[in-house]
Chains A and B, each alone.
Chain A
């Protein structure tokens, strides 16, 4: 009795697809946040570098 195989495949496909979509959604959010955090860290680094540059410049004068 192999009738109904398409239903089994459909049921599992729905499960896999929706779970995968959920994972992709979560992953996309995490990746976006990670990128923004890194960009901000770079900005902070640059600002710190500028500040220390100006401080050393002040020391010299």
Chain B
């Protein structure tokens, strides 16, 4: 029963997205612009930015996440779907799960473009043999972003200046994800991969995801309680 509700909600989000394509296209475009801006912001026309590659990648992904998470409830809000959803007997945790899955998929779609592009743009050394390890860390980070992002965007939804509140709430909570994501990336990129370091960061991301899953499940009922 719950699984059917969950799948129905995820399908609704994805179908809406596939029909309009407004969120994912905007996110990917935003991410590419970010990469270009960061490159020029460093002020060097150095072809090899391997030393900064984790930072470039995860700063871009963090800001893109804020953008995507901020969009995640907009359709519900603008088209009064939320009222119907809240009145229906769907448990709040199912709503939480559906939103988190949608954000997870959006972020994955962005990373499919961003992670190879970072390699093309910034790394001249070895990158491609490490891309699998980066992808695993990125998937874990997506779980973190999806879970904390769902909670914070739910909080920001009915506030004044919602678009301003969300980054202020969400980005400080994303700092550990950026630290761990960039750390994991640096651990495997550029010649000598340090797998124990990579594993440490991945375990940290897993712990983050679990902790925020618990917090979200415990508090999500109260987010939509009116």
Direct contact of A and B (CB under 8 A): no
